[in-house]
Amino acid sequence: MRVHFLSVFAASILPLIITACDSRSPGQETSNADASVVAAKVQLPPSIIGGHTYRCADNSVVSVDFLKGGEIAILRSPERSQQLRMTAPAAGEPFFADGYVVTGSGPRIGFQRPGEPHQECKG
């Protein structure tokens, strides 16, 4: 009899305990429509349209990711600890950043490090 009383008591008080854990007040309900308005304002970064690893004339290796739109490239090279975001004034123009220059975007590029001569690199 005592076990039955405890299980009935636990079953009746459990919903009260669960609803007490909800910290929102009734006026704080958010609708899915509000969430979609907020999500619509987010703009994703350009997607990568091509990524290549190149061996240059001085036998060094560089990697370049070209982003959609043709005005942004991401350079990775052994002498840099972090990737470098390069920009071009318009699609088809050379990419520039911190003294680095990349020309082209296919299986062959031109590459120049700060203070060094321009060199050809093959993918």
AA letter at 67: L
Average per-residue pLDDT in the chain? Answer: 83
Neighbouring residues of 123: CB distance < 8 A, sequence distance ≥ 6: 52, 53, 54, 106, 107, 108, 109
Quick check: 1 pLDDT over 90? no
Residues 12-28, mean pLDDT to the nearest whole number: 61
> What per-residue confidence (pLDDT) applies to 78?
87
> What per-residue confidence (pLDDT) applies to 45?
81
> What per-residue confidence (pLDDT) applies to 98?
95
CB distance 64 to 73 below 8 Å: yes
d(CA 89, CA 70): 10
Residues 102-119, mean pLDDT to the nearest whole number: 95
Give percent of the chain with pLDDT exceeding 90.
57
* CA proximity to 113, closest of 82, 66, 75: 75
* pLDDT tens digits along 61-93: 999 999 999 999 999 998 888 999 999 999 999
Determine the Cα angle at 105 with ends 101 and 111, to 5°: 30
d(CA 108, CA 55): 9
d(CA 76, CA 54): 11
Of 68 and 20, the structure prediction assigns the larger pLDDT to: 68
* All structural domains of the chain with their residue ranges: 48-122
> What per-residue confidence (pLDDT) applies to 57?
96
Q: Which fold has domain 48-122?
A: Lipocalin (2.40.128)
